[in-house]
Structure 1
């Protein structure tokens, strides 16, 4: 009887699992090769630390905070900028990127999860843009969500205005 009492609330409400996005993403869509050769700062413009439901997978919900997702996006972006001779700093950078994950949602598909991400970028005081990415690349919601963040970053680095900003001295 005690087992039923313990198990019943779980059965009625389901389980909640935190989403763990990672910056180690191996495959992303290609973008133009460029070199930054400048000091650059990448900041988190997402102010919300609230937990949101990213995926409702029948008996399990996956949650996370947009602020934390943006931190992962920043890690992915900084890795790519360092590969392109960018020097990451917060002290008087010559270039500044301000990023925010505005939406990250996943759903169960026939062969695995799919996720859609919408990010916002502001560079300097002159330009802002929104990029959307979709991914089915991953066996778990965590993998697919991480991949879709990397795909959004890749879309950002295919924007000619972003490349011009990063490469102009």
Structure 2
């Protein structure tokens, strides 16, 4: 998968290990083996969420034929919260010579740049020389300082 960073998964695993280690003092079974098992479980869930979100977005891109990379023609608005989910307005500019649609993958990260979620949105039928809008909404509730970044975008 082009453009994906593997570091966020490692960061998720490290954060999960830290969280489980901190919580282990609250359980009846805080043996090293138990703590390691809990950490592995939480890290696995984080890696699974990353894989699931990016796989779903990737499937949408696999369906696009003859798309042109237009990441530079996409701007994101400020991330807001709606019912616990993060949202960002996506604005695309059609610099092509005819009406086109756009597919944009938006990655949501925390303040440290750790991957939280990914979503693919479509801005259909944008006239030549005009702009179109879509809303990127996270697949699940996100909290804290959430940021959005364009991972990839195609015009087709």
Structure-1-length-normalised TM-score: 0.28
